Amino acid sequence: EQLNKRGSKGIRGLGRTFRALDSFDGNKKVDKQEFVIGLRENGVTMNQQEFQVLFNYFDKDGDGTVCFDEFLVGVRGKPNSRRQVFIDKAFLKFDRDGNGYIDAADLRGVYDCSFHPKVQKGEMTEDQALMEFLQNFNDRNRDGRINRDEWNEYYAGVSSSIDNDEHFVQLMKTAWRIE
């Protein structure tokens, strides 16, 4: 609640702090000690027990670390209904065959990889560029397909970094050419 009141500046500041704390190993996660330091450096005051409860809440997989994106989404919450409508529209635009996931076959004809710099240089095929593109969307199990949960999780992260609903909606409309 303390961070949310500070809006995107507080959350961006927290992200910068966490990235700085993570600079030792670059795994994009922080352990409990780093977590507590990061929150304190951003003006969050709690006792040790409260920090432990909060850390356990964000440590979804119980591995003793917290992922940045999960933390930011946890602080901001899921996208509101207006934002979710555009997240859903974009998913449905890409899920051309309606099977509930997006794969390279769905992207062909919707996303043109022929202009990708590595494709142009002959360093990568268009299929490889499509797979690389898909991996940006939280393909957690690396199966080359993005299901609705993975898509929503990715866009919850994007949404958490944009305060203004209209800005988010415009971003989605422009990026994916949807109305």
pLDDT confidence of 15, banded at 50, 70, 90?
A: low
Alpha-carbon distances, residue 10 vs 160, 164, 170 (angstroms):
12, 15, 23
pLDDT 10s digits, 121-147? 999 998 888 888 887 777 777 788 899
Side-chain-side CA neighbours of 81 within 13 Å: the count stands at 0
Tell which residue, 177, 160, 179, has the closest CA to residue 73. 160
pLDDT-wise least confident of 40-44, 80-84, 163-167: 40-44
Q: Which two tokens stand for residue 98?
A: 């309606």
Angstrom distances, CA of residue 36 to CA of 9, 21, 24, 33, 161: 19, 11, 17, 5, 21
H or E segment and range at residue 53: helix 48-58
- Tell me the pairing of strands 101-102 and 146-147: antiparallel
Q: What is the pLDDT of residues 48-73, one digit of tens each?
A: 999 999 898 888 778 898 887 777 77
Would the pLDDT of 177 be above 90?
A: no
